[in-house]
């Protein structure tokens, strides 16, 4: 059944978008186009620079090829091209606008001959303007303001010195370079290449590791860890370690830790005649306020590690990991007394028989008498008459080795 004219017009107006919809679609399309344009402007510029460089390289290659041709051949080709250009000039054909590469090539080639009679595409004053623009760019590059930058190796050295020595300023680094290395650099130049410190952080803030190394011999650290018995009973192990010697000064076990029990353990370690000045512990509630006050009364300063910062008490955390890996992961304690006996034997091995890499290597608690190690003639052979003795620790879990002399009649 055919549609009426009025019905057809109504259908057309129904499917036609409204002016507001067209305007919204246009705005959205324009916004998307601007966003894409902003994102790709850098790509377009790089493509244009690459094209200019390729065109200039092609012109230079063509000029180099012409240098190897005969003079008569080049003159004949020049006259041949002039005749063809004269035909284009008679017809009044307008050449396209020269691009950047063409401008650079023409400005450079015009310095090699009398170009006024050969110029056709632009006016002479235009070519002269191109030449002047090139000279301005050249002298702007050659006369850059400021001093030349110092070598990259010296910049890296300045940043390294400033990073490794936070107490130093530009004057001190300049003096170190001049007196020790013979390099003369202005303090203002050094300040330019020093790493920027965050705002609000005071200059000269020493690292926590530097503080620990400077006060290692006068510092002890403590912490708790848990152990589970064969009957699934939870026991708490208290550890105290000396930073300077890496010696385990105290290790004890309890099922019900308290501030009073912890304070008594620390008193047994510190005593009254001691060389310790600092005690490090975390912010556990067991280290109560009266515990810290009692420790301060003994002459020690209490250093609390920041929240959730196990690296601030790294030595204590590391020795706890060593106890687990070398002892408790291989034995199952039956009771509290059994766990205390196991840890006592392992602590003796740790302090007197286990080498520690940070000590040289060496043991934390060496014997009082000097250890006589015979001088070997070869790095891989024992001395004549030497005997290696092995002492079992924890039923053969570890062994301690020593040298002995073979009897003469053996």
Q: What is the pTM of this model?
A: 0.52
List, in order of start, the domains of the chain with CATH numbers: 69-142 (no CATH), 152-205 (no CATH), 212-359 (3.30.420.10), 372-410 (no CATH)
3-class DSSP string for 160-204: HHHHHCCCCCHHHHHHHHHHHCCCCCCHHHHHHHCCCCCCCCCCC
Instruction: Locate 106 and state its tokens.
Output: 């023409």
Instruction: Give the pLDDT of residue 200.
Output: 57
pLDDT tens for 86-135 read 666 666 677 777 787 777 877 877 777 777 767 777 788 888 888 888 88
**Is there a cis peptide before residue 361, judged by omega within 30 degrees of 0?**
yes
Q: Quote the CA–CA distance of 124 and 140 in Å, as a whole number.
A: 25
Cβ atoms of 259 and 224 within 8 Å: the answer is no
pLDDT tens for 152-183 read 999 999 998 888 887 788 888 998 888 888 88
Query: Hey, which residues does 238 pair with through a beta bridge?
Result: 224, 252
Question: Cα–Cα–Cα angle for 97, 100, 101, nearest 5°?
Answer: 110
Q: How far is CA 162 from CA 179, 194, 333, in A?
A: 17, 6, 52
Q: Quote the CA–CA distance of 275 and 244 in Å, as a whole number.
A: 11
Cβ atoms of 252 and 265 within 8 Å: the answer is yes
pLDDT tens for 340-397 read 999 999 999 999 888 888 787 788 888 776 556 666 666 666 777 778 888 899 988 8
């Amino acid at each position: 059944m055919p549609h009426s004219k009025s019905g057809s017009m109504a259908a057309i107006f129904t499917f036609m978008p409204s002016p507001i919809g067209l305007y919204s679609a246009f705005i959205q399309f324009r916004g998307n186009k601007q966003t894409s344009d902003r994102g790709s402007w850098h790509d377009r510029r790089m493509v244009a620079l690459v094209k200019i460089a390729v065109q200039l390289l092609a012109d230079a290659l063509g000029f180099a090829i012409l240098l190897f041709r005969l003079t008569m051949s080049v003159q004949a080709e020049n006259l041949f091209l002039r005749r063809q250009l004269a035909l284009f000039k008679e017809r009044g054909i307008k050449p396209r606008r020269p691009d950047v590469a063409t401008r650079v090539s023409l400005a450079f080639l015009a310095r090699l001959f009398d170009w006024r009679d050969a110029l056709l595409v632009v006016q002479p004053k235009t070519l002269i303007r191109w030449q002047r623009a090139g000279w301005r760019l050249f002298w702007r590059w050659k006369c850059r303001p400021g001093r030349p930058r110092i070598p990259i190796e010296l910049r890296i050295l300045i940043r390294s010195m400033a990073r490794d020595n936070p107490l130093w300023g530009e004057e001190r680094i300049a003096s170190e370079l001049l007196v020790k290395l013979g390099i003369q650099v202005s303090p203002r130049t050094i300040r330019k290449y020093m790493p920027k410190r965050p705002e609000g952080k005071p200059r000269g803030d020493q690292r926590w590791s530097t503080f620990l190394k400077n006060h290692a011999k006068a510092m002890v650290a403590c912490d708790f860890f848990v152990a589970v018995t064969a009957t699934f009973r939870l026991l708490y192990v208290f550890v105290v370690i000396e930073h300077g010697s890496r010696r385990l000064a105290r290790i004890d076990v309890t099922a019900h830790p308290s501030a009073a029990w912890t304070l008594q353990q620390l008193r047994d370690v510190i005593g009254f005649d001691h060389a310790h000045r600092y005690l490090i512990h975390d912010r556990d509630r067991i280290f109560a306020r009266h515990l810290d006050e009692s420790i301060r009364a003994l002459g020690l300063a209490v250093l609390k590690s920041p929240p959730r910062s196990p690296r601030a008490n790294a030595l204590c955390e590391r020795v706890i990991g060593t106890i687990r890996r070398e002892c408790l992961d291989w034995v199952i304690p039956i009771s509290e007394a059994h766990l205390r006996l196991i840890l006592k034997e392992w602590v003796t091995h740790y302090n007197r028989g286990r080498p520690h890499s940070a000590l040289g290597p060496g043991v934390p608690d060496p014997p009082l008498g000097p250890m006589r190690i015979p001088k070997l003639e070869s790095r891989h052979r024992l001395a004549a008459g030497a005997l290696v003795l092995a002492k079992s620790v924890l039923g053969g879990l570890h062994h301690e080795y020593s040298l002995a002399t073979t009897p003469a009649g053996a």
